């Protein structure tokens, strides 16, 4: 069931709300940035996410194709979400579900996780090893 959650970075400089259904797919990827940051996301349309505070505190980092804005709080370094546009998929926001302030441990533990092999740009198959993600 879709619900509006509130979230933030660690220091609170960035606050947002997002319309998510945590009973639907979330994902973890083994690309270099997601592995190092342990980024756990749910991908939603851009209109499902609203920045309430701190848009100016976000720092944009891009790599590879540059299609995705990896957005980090410039004060505490936490990535609350990223924005992107990929051909064939369209525009999206990837919300860091670990940054949701009101999701609750039980809802997060029950969220289904799809593992993606971003390291090899094979988004249709999980990587051989996922325990570290």
Per residue in 31-79, pLDDT (tens digit) is 999 999 999 999 999 999 999 999 999 999 998 888 889 999 999 999 9
Question: Is there a domain that residue 46 lies in?
Answer: yes
Question: Is there a domain that residue 121 lies in?
Answer: no
The pLDDT score that the predictor gives to residue 67 is 86
Neighbours of 57 (CB within 10 A): 19
26-29 sheet: strands from edge to edge: 58-61, 68-73, 81-86, 90-96, 40-44, 26-29, 113-116
Distance of CA 14 to the CA centre of its chain: 14
Question: Is there a domain that residue 124 lies in?
Answer: no
**Which of 127, 121, 41, 117 has the alpha carbon at shortest distance from 86?**
121
Share of the chain above pLDDT 70, in %: 100
CATH number for the domain harbouring residue 99:
2.170.150.70
Question: Is there a domain that residue 102 lies in?
Answer: yes
Question: Is there a domain that residue 64 lies in?
Answer: yes
* Cα(39)–Cα(49) distance, integer angstroms: 17
79 versus 86: the higher-pLDDT residue is 79
- Structurally, the chain folds into a number of domains equal to 1
The pLDDT score that the predictor gives to residue 88 is 80
Show the tokens assigned to 37: 């940051």
For 4-91, where are the alpha helices, taking DSSP H only? 32-37
pLDDT band at residue 87, thresholds of 50, 70 and 90? confident
Supply the range of the domain harboring residue 14. Answer: 3-116
Question: Is there a domain that residue 126 lies in?
Answer: no
Question: Is there a domain that residue 27 lies in?
Answer: yes
Question: Is there a domain that residue 58 lies in?
Answer: yes
CA 132-123-86 angle, to 5 degrees, is: 120
pLDDT tens-digit profile of 13-28? 999 999 999 999 999 9
**Which of 27, 10, 1, 28 has the alpha carbon at shortest distance from 80?**
10
């Amino acid at each position: 069931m879709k619900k509006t959650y509130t979230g933030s970075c660690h220091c609170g400089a960035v606050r947002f709300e997002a319309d998510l259904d945590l009973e639907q797919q979330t994902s973890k990827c083994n690309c270099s940035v997601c592995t190092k940051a342990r980024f756990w996301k749910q991908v939603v349309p851009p209109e499902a996410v609203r920045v309430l505070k701190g848009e100016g505190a976000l720092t944009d980092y891009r790599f590879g194709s540059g299609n995705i804005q990896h957005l980090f709080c410039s004060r505490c370094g936490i990535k609350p979400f990223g924005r992107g546009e990929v051909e064939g998929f369209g525009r999206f926001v990837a919300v860091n579900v670990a940054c949701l302030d009101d999701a609750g441990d039980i809802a997060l533990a029950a969220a289904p996780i799809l593992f993606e092999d971003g390291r090899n740009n094979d988004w249709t198959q999980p990587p051989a090893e996922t325990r570290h993600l």
